[in-house]
Amino acid sequence: MHFKYNIDTFISVTLGVTKTPFLLYNMFIPKEETTMRCEVKLYVAGRVFYEEVEARDYSDARDTALARNPKATVVSVNAKF
């Protein structure tokens, strides 16, 4: 036997309330990870080049660019709009 519950039914059955508070709705909404496009300036063997990566934050962009170019040195990390 299969049961389909929506959020209202689930909360009313488990907590015993008929009207669902707004805060409980937010508990069941998955948080989206927002990513941004970053331009990482790298330096290798006297040459400067740019690597465009998509990352959560600047440190993640730096790590991604270094993973793609392990011998490089990071000069700067900037958001690209």
In 3-state terms, what secondary structure has residue 13?
Answer: helix
In angstroms, the CA 16 to CA 30 distance is 23
Max alpha carbon distance in the chain (Å)?
68
**Domain range summary for the chain, segments of one domain joined by +:** 1-31, 33-81
pLDDT in the model for residue 78: 95
- Predicted local distance difference test score (pLDDT) of residue 11: 61
Q: In this structure, how many other beta carbons lie within 10 angstroms of the beta carbon of residue 72?
A: 19
Q: What is the pLDDT of residue 18?
A: 59
Q: Which residues in the chain land under pLDDT 70?
A: 1-33
CA–CA gap between residue 43 and residue 75 (Å, rounded) = 7
In the chain, % of residues over pLDDT 90: 52
Q: DSSP secondary-structure letter at 80?
A: -
Quick check: 73 and 41 in contact, CB under 8 A? Answer: no
